[in-house]
Amino acid sequence: MSPKPDVSAERKQQIFEAAIICFGRKGYHLTKMDDIAAEAGLSKGLLYWYFKGKKELFISLFQEIMGQFELAWEAIVNDNNSSATEKILTTLSLFRSEFKEFTSFFGVMMEAWVQTLHDEDVVELLDEFYQPYVRMITQVIKQGLANGEFQVTDVEGTTLVLLSMFDGVTLALGMGIFKYDWDKLFDAVSEVTLRALGVSCN
């Protein structure tokens, strides 16, 4: 008899897709594991086989979304055939397309973080979360400075400001604070980013 195929990856993806729908519909606090199981078409017992609880599921979902984005961004940053300006422009395009899809989820993410602010698992996750992004932006800025493409006096400060801007815009839209077209707003984000690096927008 042939061994049964391992469907764990597909099953987790099924759960993640259901969780995004449920969290977007009811928010983190009101969403129950029962809701996610029903949306995924799975038994509650099977859902708990993969995740011990809602917090673990949410953290895994967040890591999955951001992990895929990190891999795509890493490929851009490490492309030896692209200038620093080209890497910034490609990064901005990546942000525009990928984050637009998950804008509502980032609003839910903020709600979840507030409710689990002093949770050790969440604190550890947040401590590690920004490290690769800081490293990658810093790497591109330093390349741009070395090649004479950028004009920046404080690399670390500029890196943190840019990351804060990306986060702020995404979270504000996701939480409904801003009522504005994503693409128009991101046009402004792109212009501000380029000007902050000393790149002409003409």
Q: pLDDT value at position 16?
A: 93
Contact between residue 15 and residue 57 where contact means Cβ atoms under 8 Å apart: yes
pTM: 0.82
Q: pLDDT value at position 115?
A: 67
Side chain identity at residue 154, one-letter code:
D
Distance of CA 39 to the CA centre of its chain: 23
What is the DSSP code (8-state) at residue 65?
A: H
Q: pLDDT value at position 43?
A: 92
Q: pLDDT value at position 7?
A: 52
Across the chain, which has 202 residues, the per-10-residue mean pLDDT values are: 56 92 88 95 92 90 87 94 96 87 75 71 75 93 96 95 88 78 89 92 66
